[in-house]
Amino acid sequence: MSQFDVVIIGSGPGGYVSAIRCAQLGLKTAIIEKYSTLGGTCLNVGCIPSKAMLASSHHYDEMKHFADHGIEVTGEVKVNLQKMVDRKQAVVDQTSGGVKYLMDKNKITVFEGLGSFEDATHVKVTKNDGSSEVIEGKNIIIATGSKPSNLPFITLDKERVITSTEALKLPEVPKHLVIIGGGVIGIELGQVYLRLGAQVSVVEYMDRIIPGMDSSLSKELTKVLKKQGMKFYVSHKVQSVERKGKEVTVKAENAKGEIISLEGDYALVSVGRRPYTAGLNADKAGVKITDRGMVDVNDHLQTNVSNIYAIGDVVRGAMLAHKAEEEGAMVAEILAGQKPHIDYNLIPGVVYTWPEVAAVGKTEEQLKEEGVAYKAGSFPFKALGRARAGGDLDGFVKILADKNTDEVLGVHMIGARCADLIAEAVVAMEFRASAEDISRMSHAHPTFAEAIKEAALAATDNRALHV
């Protein structure tokens, strides 16, 4: 029987990063993946392929504005969806292959098959051909991730009534894509097909899209996407989804109790994700699973069984790849006797639409609910020289700071390059910077990052210079 210091079940961003960090720290490490490719949901059917599709569709959409820049394109410009999907898959294959390279480089043993507990220190690996073997781990890390959620009355046929997985490989551009759920995944994929020519309608139960983010970001993104042609039905509760041939009908009830009916050729069910523990046999190891299907862990990501840990989407907290990575590295360092720490308040969230949306720290709604005295400063992208030069005028940066100490409590932004710009805010908040600290940092001109400096100036006695 093969024996290891650490056995990791699942090779997503949490699992494979944890494996690398364990190996770096001198621990003999194995990782188990039930699929033939490494990388989990993020690399195979999530973060990476969706960003590839967003990038391709963005290039196509940009061509509509080439004339504004003095570039005249003659002849017909066509979308070849199959080539777009093929390119997406090539990006996925290259990225997954990179993970395999990292496993080999760090001398991590990879087992292909379904990992399930035999007891607290033994994991059975059941391979696709039905054969199996049992390996022993002094410590075991559960990193099995999540799967798309569904509503109990919706039948997913994965042809016309689909999840995000199928939306990444459609055989055609939909005529009318009805999206159930106005969260990050639905909005991103909605913009992909909106750009390619589909009519897109979003049905959201809450009173706004991206409801987990600051309401000012929701309002601005809604305004921009409406301008692009996306339609929204917020405060609508879906009642039924029925398919007849190539037509899908979605019925929903609005706040007045009225029923609306949307007919499309595809319906994307994007109502969040749920922890995935199917086949894990956690009970054999005595590991506690919560009523919500999550693996129960303490502040050190340790389960009720002392040598078993869990990370990523399968435990509490935001279902984000970079959150899983931080947790994977943290558990590895705990096993090596170190004392790492994660500040969950400083894990940023990003929506990769265009304009991009990004945030870290507290929202205004949270600060009001907690009774924290704060001040806010914002700055519009349209006042930036770089934004005008490139034609990316939508959006703003908003900084929330403690009214008494000036410490930055939250940064919320929507606009060009915000997915990258948010890192500056994370660094500032990690070192407990004040708004004035940020305002006194020199920012290169002309850049989009100047909006952060200007928002900090606005939060510091309303001193913004360029508005």
Is-cis flag, bond preceding 446, omega within 30? yes
Cα–Cα distances (Å) from 451 to 349, 351, 444, 455, in that order, read 19, 19, 11, 6
Closest by Cα among 274, 280, 279 to 294:
274
Contact 380, 395 (CB under 8 A): yes
Q: Three-state SS for 242?
A: strand
Is-catalytic flag, 445?
yes
E strands of 314-421, at which residues? Answer: 349-351, 356-361, 374-380, 396-402, 408-415
Cα–Cα distances (Å) from 68 to 78, 118, 389, in that order, read 20, 64, 11
Cα–Cα distances (Å) from 216 to 177, 179, 222, 324, 325, in that order, read 26, 22, 10, 27, 29
- Strands 408-415 and 396-402, how do they pair? antiparallel
Q: According to DSSP H, which parts of 121-268 are helical?
A: 164-167, 184-195, 215-228
- Angstrom distance (rounded) from CA 8 to CA 137: 9
Rg for the chain, CA atoms, rounded = 24
Q: Which helix (H) or strand (E) holds 147?
A: strand 146-148
- Angstrom distance (rounded) from CA 276 to CA 80: 35
- Angstrom distance (rounded) from CA 365 to CA 60: 37
- Angstrom distance (rounded) from CA 277 to CA 444: 48
Q: How many CB atoms lie within 10 A of CB 72?
A: 7
Q: How many CB atoms lie within 10 A of CB 149?
A: 13
- Angstrom distance (rounded) from CA 248 to CA 267: 7
State phi, psi for 349 to the nearest 5 degrees. Answer: -120, 140
Q: Please identify which of the residues 69, 300, 445, 466 carries the catalytic annotation.
A: 445
Catalytic residue numbers, as ranges: 445
